Amino acid sequence: MKLNEAKQQFIQSWGAIGTQWGINRTMAQIHALLLVSADPLSADDIMEELQISRGNTNMNVRELIDWRLVEKVLKAGERKEFFIAEKDIWKVAMRITSERKRRELDPMIKVLENIGEIEGDKKDKDVKAFTDTVGQLQKFAKQADKAFDNLVKVDEHWFTGTILKLFK
């Protein structure tokens, strides 16, 4: 299998998987392209490689930067911006996890907090069913929130060596 062939296959497949993840196809493709590129690419490189418009490229690169999966790189003597992806897959996974938590778990916690006390007979089976489910969800959401925070925190400390120092 030739390199370019394999690259193209990887990029296309990654785009398809992206949609399953609820992620924009183009965003996933640009990420894939940058992940397997040795050098930083410019917007024009990306447009050329993926056959997409400048606007689309710009929007999705910006989104990838928001997710902290891609960084802007400046080359000496060049006016253009270049882009490079974080290559450490563990870090990539942590950042995607953080972002998904922010988009999926945090709004859930907010919704649950905003549900007020229910008026009426607390022994009523309908009132019970509601408060019981909402209560369980609240408990679960808070636990999950802590678990994710710890996962990401431990990971950051691992890299900076903070945890090892605790054992000295």
Partner DNA sequence: TTGTATTTTCAAAATATTCTGAAACTTTAA
Partner DNA sequence: TTAAAGTTTCAGAATATTTTGAAAATACAA
- Choosing from 55, 133, 162, 168, the residue that interacts with a copy of itself (CB under 8 A) is 133
Q: CB 102 → DNA: shortest distance, Å?
A: 17
How many whole angstroms separate alpha carbon 62 and alpha carbon 45? Answer: 16
From DNA, a copy of itself, none, interface partner of 14 (C-beta below 5 to 8 A by class): a copy of itself
Listed in order, strand segments (DSSP E) in the chain are 41-42, 70-74, 81-85
Choice between 61 and 85, CB closer to a copy of itself: 85
Asked if 134 interacts with a copy of itself (CB under 8 A), we say: yes
- Spatial contact of 67 and 99, defined as CB atoms under 8 Å apart: yes
User: Cα–Cα distance between 105 and 164 in angstroms, integer?
Assistant: 30
Residue position matching structure tokens 């930083």: 40
Nearer to a copy of itself, 13 or 53 (CB): 13
CA 41/CA 143 separation, integer angstroms: 41
Closest approach of Cβ 139 to DNA, in Å?
Answer: 29
Q: Which positions lie near DNA, rule CB under 7 A?
A: 19, 24-27, 42-44, 51-56, 58-62, 78-81
| Spatial separation of the C-alpha atoms in residues 40 and 70, rounded to whole Å | 10
What minimum distance in Å lies between the beta carbon of 19 and DNA? 6
Residues binding a copy of itself: number (CB under 8 A): 49
Kindly state the helix (H) or strand (E) to which residue 71 belongs, with its residue range: strand 70-74
Q: Which DSSP helix (H) or strand (E) runs through 72? A: strand 70-74
The partner in contact with residue 51, picked from a copy of itself, DNA, none with C-beta cut-offs of 5 to 8 angstroms by kind, is DNA
**Start-end of H helices in 84-124:** 89-100, 106-113
- Footprint of a copy of itself (CB under 8 A): 1-3, 6-7, 9-10, 13-14, 16-17, 20-22, 35-38, 87-90, 93, 103-104, 107-108, 111, 114-120, 125-130, 132-134, 136-137, 139-140, 144
